[in-house]
Structure 1
């Protein structure tokens, strides 16, 4: 539609919706330090595009793609053939020509054992089924062995209150505020929040969020992370001295709090606190197994990272949860907090829940129509 709401093009939204959903999920794939093994539940268009974009973005490191489906159906065969039929030169260019694809269904006698092995070996798990019960046993990821490895879980299949893909125990573990004391067993870092496409939408439609009774203060929108990235890029060139215009503006927006030595530090809500997120999203992936950047000292993380929430859709600042709002300072102030955020997004346990946004279809559809006009694809109806 144009700015007046008049339609200027019609297209089949089935493929577009699957593509744009996977495109949004890819924003969280890019920062991951290790992407070697993928496991996907489902074999539909959502499953295809999530795996396809992951291969485009991280194909040079992906070695295994595990597909778990209820049965070995024609759809499953078509899913595998869609990757088999991709030209060899494309696979070589993207780096996954030697990647191994496996398929698993509950009908197989060793299903329980293999499912556990697949999930624990996974760096990214895609859940793309409209299930009404959790698709795997929570103990696979919540017991001591399952918590050793950090994973990105992308759940986009359930979109109604009665639907659920992620076990509630896994959701609870993700938002739990972990203490700063010594942990007897090694486990991957938890962020204390669930990343969502829309807070309002997930609170109303996402079964995992509703049934887990997760508060909005434990949710952060993917768009917020992207906005913080852009804000950081635009502010990085500004010299933040006490008499600079930007510093004065920051002081008006968020008063500074005195510290014990008489210095002042930004209070929660200051734009200075949003700067470090850009270091995660704009860095090129180097393939290093170390989450620390050479540009900042590596410091030991203690517990959940602290995250500053930007304005919610209602326009209010949500800073009531200490685990979220106690401050994520820029690298130029406290590199420790920046490293916590970076480690979590790159190596920790991250859950992304999406129920879909119609606006994304309009944005992607508009771009597709533009490309179609440029390339002369489609049917042009004069005087429509």
Structure 2
């Protein structure tokens, strides 16, 4: 069996040139992994991630995963905290090692770009069903923001009218826009020509009040909101979406940037409102006297342990629906359930929270290695 090595450049070459069919293949692969985790027995075989922090603040994360047809470990280095608050954090470096179920190594993948892609793809699974995606807002301007927008543009670019990037630095936001145009040039695709890009940034705003007003306007206009920042304070108050003006439309919201208990991209009051009042979310107990809906998660257990906004909202696990369970209901539920889910995903208020699972790395890493072999990208050894 061949052994493959995919460098960061190789991974970028593959991902930038992904067409709808490639994204569909990867999305189906990820759905199958989520299904095996939530509905089958795979959740019991997932080891917990481990972290080691040295005295200088340097942290190394070890993220193992197993499935019936493979094993993987992702190793990520997290640099010490920056001495200056104005300094940009360096990118997270790492590598994904992928083996078959017997431990024979299939390949290694540079995980810097790959991790941003796989996390963004998780957000895109529910997003792809949306009827209206005219106005997209993204918080952040890093790799996660890049891949959320790139995937959305490849899949739904003809439906997107505006993209608003909300970020502290206007320079980084403009670099993100330039990179999206560059991706079009590299791939030969035309995903951005009719999209109007705009930037809302704290540095250029004359006052904090002006920045907040511009952010509020963008949020309340948005059909889609991608949150991709490791912030410790909510990006916007729940009131903006649950007051009378905020309720004028429903939205798709994903939050993937906060992954520790001291982080929270979303106002816990928003989660509380979604799960206790009628804001347009899916209610598994429709017809009962129980009000409120659910939020969509990659893993109840992981989010309950690691997602700050969920813990702060004191959210019960029965108010979380795992993506794998959603996929199962779409495939095996009765017609009434399928219709209710379809209506919710297309037009309702859908909030997706993810902290990341190792099986996402394993399933998509194997799939990427297979695509690399088909497209003759990367380095291959006859044996290892």
TM tier, shorter chain?
0.5 to 0.7
Q: Does 1:206 align with 2:307?
A: yes
In the TM superposition, residue 162 of structure 1 has moved relative to its aligned partner by: 1.1
Query: For 1:297-316, what aligned pairs fall within 5 Å after superposition?
Result: none
Q: Deviations over 1:200-239 (max 9, x none)?
A: 11011111111111000000001111122233xxxxxxxx
Tell me the equivalent position of 1:57: 155
Unaligned runs of 5+ in 1: 179-187, 232-273, 277-328, 332-337
CA distance in 2, matches of 1:115, 1:83: 22
Count, aligned residues = 272
Tell me the equivalent position of 1:7: 105
CA distance in 2, matches of 1:194, 1:230: 20
Tell me the equivalent position of 2:376: 376
Greater Cα radius of gyration, structure 1 or 2: 1
Q: Does 1:82 align with 2:179?
A: yes
CA distance in 2, matches of 1:378, 1:13: 14
Tell me the equivalent position of 2:122: 24
Tell me the equivalent position of 1:99: 195
| Aligned-partner SS, 1:10 | strand
Q: Does 1:166 align with 2:257?
A: no
Q: Does 1:35 align with 2:94?
A: no
Match of 2:330 among 220, 223, 229: 229
Q: Deviations over 1:224-277 (max 9, x none)?
A: 11122233xxxxxxxxxxxxxxxxxxxxxxxxxxxxxxxxxxxxxxxxxx134x
Is the contact between residue 167 and residue 201 of structure 2 (CA under 8 Å) also seen in structure 1?
Answer: yes
CA distance in 1, matches of 2:236, 2:277: 24
TM-score (norm 2): 0.67
Greater strand share, structure number: 2
Is the alpha carbon distance of 1:44 and 1:223 closer, same or farther for their aligned partners in structure 2, counting shifts above 3 Å? same
Is the contact between residue 129 and residue 165 of structure 1 (CA under 8 Å) also seen in structure 2?
Answer: yes
In the TM superposition, residue 376 of structure 1 has moved relative to its aligned partner by: 2.6
In the TM superposition, residue 138 of structure 1 has moved relative to its aligned partner by: 2.2
Unaligned runs of 5+ in 2: 1-98, 283-292
CA distance in 2, matches of 1:147, 1:106: 26
Is the contact between residue 88 and residue 97 of structure 1 (CA under 8 Å) also seen in structure 2?
Answer: no
Is the contact between residue 184 and residue 190 of structure 2 (CA under 8 Å) also seen in structure 1?
Answer: no
TM-score (norm 1): 0.67
Query: For 1:1-384, what aligned pairs fall within 5 Å after superposition?
Result: 1-73=99-171, 75-87=172-184, 93-94=190-191, 96-107=192-203, 108-109=205-206, 110-178=210-278, 189-191=280-282, 192-231=293-332, 274-276=333-335, 329-330=336-337, 338=339, 340-384=340-384
Name the Cα RMSD after superposition: 2.0
CA distance in 2, matches of 1:82, 1:171: 33
Is the contact between residue 231 and residue 257 of structure 2 (CA under 8 Å) also seen in structure 1?
Answer: yes
Is the contact between residue 329 and residue 337 of structure 2 (CA under 8 Å) also seen in structure 1?
Answer: no
In the TM superposition, residue 77 of structure 1 has moved relative to its aligned partner by: 3.4
